[in-house]
Chains A and B, each alone.
Chain A
Amino acid sequence: MPTITFTQPTGEATEVTVEEGTSLMRAAVTNGIEGIVGECGGQAMCATCHVFVRPEFAGQLPEVSDDEDEMLDCTTAERTDSSRLGCQIKMSGELGNIVVDVPSDQV
């Protein structure tokens, strides 16, 4: 099963193992990862599951959709080139052991 490593601004890292098809946001919320809120339940409406994806994994992710793009403009922590919404990242075998950084501000 794929794993996700969430790295906090403090440097603390937590690895969680998830079923294929689970979103990165859902994995974080279910496992009580601090700093991922997921208010809207995964419909790219709230921008509270913002993560920074480490560059080595970026190429394996699907393109940013228009909905995700406009919502990434509304994140509390400033958007960067590595910004994604966790709810739009579905875990799969190809993603392997993805590592993401949790922003310091989410709301």
Chain B
Amino acid sequence: MSHSAVPAATCPFTGASTPTETAAAAGEAAAAAATTFDAGIEAPVADWVTIPDLHENPFPIYQRMREESPVHWVPAVNRYMVTSYAACHEIEQDEARFSANEHNSLMKRSMGHSMLRKDNPEHQVDRDAYGSTLRPGTIKKHWNAIFEANNEKYLSELLAKGPGADFVWDYAAPYTGENLRLIMGFHNATQQDMQRWSQTLIDGTGNYADDPEVWAKAKASSDEVDAAIDEMLPHLAKNPDQSLLSGLASMPIPLEAIRANLKMTIGGGLNEPRDVLATTVWALLNNPEQLAAVKADPKLHAVAFEESVRWVAPIGMYPRETTTDLVLGGVRLPKGARLGVVLGAANRDPEVFEDPETFNIFRPKKPHLGFGGGVHFCAGTWIARAQVAQIAMPSVFEKLPNLRLDPSAETVDAGWVFRGMTKMPVLWG
């Protein structure tokens, strides 16, 4: 049976020290599923939504959309956008009616057919092939020490660069890039390669404008990744380590799936922890009383991290496709409808979160949807929590106690499908 009691501090990731209210947000799926197709209304058309406006600041747009209807047809995005917590949650928990295996997927074109665009049972085969590399036990035994060394190195480089250095590009990006390089086992690449691969493959995934130059860059990175994998697999088969590539070298997974899954992981494992790290630090610097509380109680780093993922989900939207005629949030959706599950909007739904537009680490804790849910729940969740909340954040505030935004320079947050800080010059002296 159960092990004997373990010390409370064994898991470094949970920072629960504030009162918690568990949400009763689940459970309305059954009622909606039973609704007949004819009972739904036609989706309202949000023709006023534009991609440049979403990119600059999607949150007022989401607010207006949620107030009107949980589901809209959005011509600019050429899909239905789902913005309420309840409807996004319903989708996540029901892969039979909401398939991840989207037709004409830009992600498949950019990265190949990864597990993120497969349904079960196919998805689970690929996911299981990742083994224990990304799980808390391996993180504790193996990755944390590596993350600490990388943090030391890249924080020193930020300091060496001097005041006015950019928190994102001179620290968060190389730090998370180097961590991911080692997690994945690309011993024949650099963190700069990882950053280039990640950005260009993601740009392909979001290439709704069908820009040939974007496709060319994504293809070049895709070819580079394939070559790097081909070189590493035989080496790691003989010299195994804790990395994903090493585990895959001994698994009966087709090369095509390995390539696609690793490209998806490059896209999902670098920009997102980079963005959460910068967004969380930015939010704390803008809220000195919350920052003071975090400095006084190290457990609050984890709370601030989760609140940041809720407040600005680094992956703000992902696609699904309906497998049948259905009604979602009272709106009729035909079979084959292309949906955008807008986590960035769901996480600010006032039906679930009080004063949702505000970053507040003291809010009653409720489950956010920032890591997705159901079978596609983010496989890198614990890696992100470890490298950002457990290692980077405490070290940043300890080594740079006077860290502040550079008032003479511009700070920019941008994006909607992916959102984070694009410019964040800082001072610390």
Contacts and interface: CB of A to CB of B under 8 A. Distances in A.
B257 interface: no
A13 to B, nearest CB: 16
B14 A58 contact: no
B388 to A, nearest CB: 16
A35 B381 contact: no
B8 A78 contact: yes
Given A43-B377, A82-B2, 6 more contacts: A32-B24, A34-B24, A37-B367, A45-B135, A59-B1, A74-B136
A7 interface: no
A29 interface: yes
Contacts of B365: 105, 107
Interface of A: 29-32, 34-35, 37-41, 43, 45-48, 58-59, 61, 63-64, 66-67, 69-84, 104-107
A105 B16 contact: yes
Contact of A41 (B11, B20, B374, B382): B374
A84 B373 CA distance: 20
Interface in B77-107: 93
A92 to B, nearest CB: 17
B209 interface: no
A106 B373 CA distance: 15
Contacts of B3: 64, 69, 81
B371 A81 contact: no
B13 interface: yes
B294 to A, nearest CB: 18
In the A-B complex, the 9 residue pairs with the closest CB atoms? A32-B27, A40-B377, A74-B11, A70-B137, A105-B20, A41-B374, A35-B22, A73-B11, A73-B10
A26 to B, nearest CB: 10
B375 interface: yes
Contacts of A31: 27
A43 B375 contact: yes
Contacts of B379: 45
B2 A58 contact: yes
A66 B131 CA distance: 12
Nearest to A34: B24
Chain B residues touching A, majority SS: loop
Nearest to B9: A73
Contacts of B34: none
A79 B1 contact: no
Nearest to B306: A107
B22 A61 contact: no
Contacts of A74: 11, 13-14, 136, 382
B26 interface: yes
Given A29-B27, A69-B3, A83-B2, A46 B16 contact: no
B23 interface: yes
A45 B377 contact: yes
A61 B1 CA distance: 8
A17 to B, nearest CB: 15
B93 A37 contact: no
B2 A106 contact: no
B295 interface: no
A65 to B, nearest CB: 11
B404 interface: no
Contacts of A34: 22, 24
Contacts of A43: 127, 375, 377
A45 B27 CA distance: 20
Given A30-B30, A46-B377, A76-B14, A81 B8 contact: no
A75 B8 CA distance: 10
A33 B57 CA distance: 36
